[in-house]
Amino acid sequence: MGYNITMRVLVTGGAGFLGSRFVRLLAEERPEWEITGLDKLTYAGDMRRLRNLRFHFIHGDILDQSLLVGLLVDHEVLVHFAAETHVDRSIARPGDFIRTNVLGTQTLLEAARLAWEGGGLFLHVSTDEVYGPVPQGAASESWPLLPSSPYSASKAGAEAFVMAYQKTYGLKAIVVRPCNGLGPFQHPEKFIPRMIVRASLGKPLPVYGTGKQRREWLWADDIARAILVVLERGKPGETYNIGSGHEEENISVARRIIEALGASPDLVQHVEDRPGHDIRYFMDSSKLRALGWEPSRSFDQALLETISWFAENRWWWEGWAEEI
């Protein structure tokens, strides 16, 4: 899209884990831009992530089309993070994921169509999980989408609506597919924070199945910066993978957390695998790197920084300790 000193950006899910990192990046590095965060503030949204930042905040729902149209008239860019994201919750309550991730995205698209009348840019944040299992090699952006969980199916459905609005109405849109993120302020229901919190409390670390599932991991701020690079240098109509190029087995990550915290290796507890659990995700992110993006941290650095932050900021997770 190109750098615009007067850019007005609406960020949905702005109080979520990744959305808040993106809002913070814009507030700190694009101070001339007008930034508005929109968030419903469900259990996953937390304003503590946004302390000491200058930006506008709207407490609202992405299913409220009249609210969205009114907001988008005054913004030329929408970066859409808002979503239900926890796979285990999607298995228990798939309807919630259809409402937020599919219907919510379609409501946003329709609001953008009505507000912009051919202008604007819709940047949709998806996930690497839409590819389904990648047993070998690396999934490029043209890889078929074969989602396995209700979560990934809902994100693939949202992407389909983004593509449909591009083709049918000429809406300018870009899709990004990040890998797993880690870093400060992540909700402790997620794998790495959960392992850190439970090991810190001396509780068993439940690992699904053999723990041989392999994932790409990336520092959350690097994901945020990748999205900014795509916003400024990417091409409407395109999709960009956001991956680290480094993969780790879940069991290896759990053991490294135990070692870093000086906890007992006996805390690892293998439990029944969850349904539809993909064995491996891995992406080819060369298209993004051609825009000039590179990660700032290795996985080792990111993991140690994350462990240190959670150890030093128990106030962030102690209220959830009994639930996880």
Q: What is the DSSP letter of 139?
A: B
Q: Burial level of 167, CB count in 10 A (0-12/13-18/19+)?
A: exposed
Q: How far apart are CA 102 and CA 265, in angstroms?
A: 41
The one catalytic residue among 39, 76, 84, 128: 128
Q: How far apart are CA 109 and CA 77, in angstroms?
A: 12
The one catalytic residue among 39, 61, 84, 129: 129
Mark whether 131 is an active-site residue: no
Mark whether 64 is an active-site residue: no
Residue appearing with tokens 């609210």 = 67
Tokens coding 33: 């831009």
Tell me the residue type at 152: S
The one catalytic residue among 151, 165, 240, 281: 151
Mark whether 273 is an active-site residue: no
Residue appearing with tokens 């001396």 = 202
Q: Are 287 and 235 in contact (CB under 8 A)?
A: no
Q: Burial level of 157, CB count in 10 A (0-12/13-18/19+)?
A: buried
Q: How far apart are CA 19 and CA 11, in angstroms?
A: 7
Helix 104-116 to helix 65-72 angle (10° resolution) is: 40
Hey, which residues does 78 pair with through a beta bridge?
Answer: 10, 122
The catalytic residue positions are: 128-129, 151
